[in-house]
Amino acid sequence: MRFASLGSGSKGNATLLETEQSCILIDCGFSIKETERRMARLGRAPSDLTAILVTHEHSDHIKGVLPLARKYKVPVYCSYGTGEHGQLRLSHHWRHLELGAAIDIGGISVMPVAVPHDAREPCQFVFSYRKKTFGLLTDLGSITPVVREHYQRCDALLLECNHDVTMLANGPYPYSLKQRVGGDWGHLNNQQAASLLEDAEVARLQHVVIAHLSEKNNTPALARMAIEPMLVNSDALLSADQEAGFDWLDIA
Q: What does the pLDDT look like over 156-193, one tens digit per residue? A: 999 999 999 999 999 999 999 999 999 999 999 999 99
Q: CB under 8 Å to 171, separation ≥6 — which residues?
A: 178, 216, 217
Separation of alpha carbons 11 and 214, rounded Å: 10
Q: Residue 197 above 90 pLDDT?
A: yes
pLDDT, the chain, mean:
97
Q: Residue 130 above 80 pLDDT?
A: yes
* pLDDT at residue number 86: 75
Question: What is the average per-residue pLDDT within 193-220?
Answer: 97
Separation of alpha carbons 80 and 159, rounded Å: 25
Question: What is the average per-residue pLDDT within 129-133?
Answer: 98
* pLDDT at residue number 76: 98
Q: pLDDT per residue over 67-119, tens digit each?
A: 999 999 999 999 999 999 877 888 999 999 999 999 999 999 999 999 999 99
* pLDDT at residue number 196: 98
What 89-98 contacts at long range (C-beta under 8 Å, 24+ apart), as own/partner pairs, is 91/66, 93/66, 93/69, 95/51, 97/53, 97/123
* pLDDT at residue number 247: 98
Q: pLDDT per residue over 2-60, tens digit each?
A: 999 999 999 999 999 999 999 999 999 999 999 999 999 999 999 999 999 999 999 99
Q: Residue 149 above 90 pLDDT?
A: yes
CA 92-96-102 angle, 5° bins: 140
pTM, 2 dp: 0.97
Q: Residue 250 above 90 pLDDT?
A: yes
* pLDDT at residue number 90: 87
Question: What is the average per-residue pLDDT within 206-231?
Answer: 98
Q: Residue 134 above 80 pLDDT?
A: yes
What is the set of domains in the chain, with CATH numbers?
A: 2-242 (3.60.15.10)
Q: Give the end-to-end CA distance of the chain in Å, rounded to a whole number.
A: 7
* pLDDT at residue number 87: 79
* pLDDT at residue number 52: 98
* pLDDT at residue number 85: 85
What is the residue type of 64? G
- Check residue 153 and report its DSSP letter: S
Q: Sorting pLDDT into bands at 50, 70 and 90, what band is 202?
A: very high
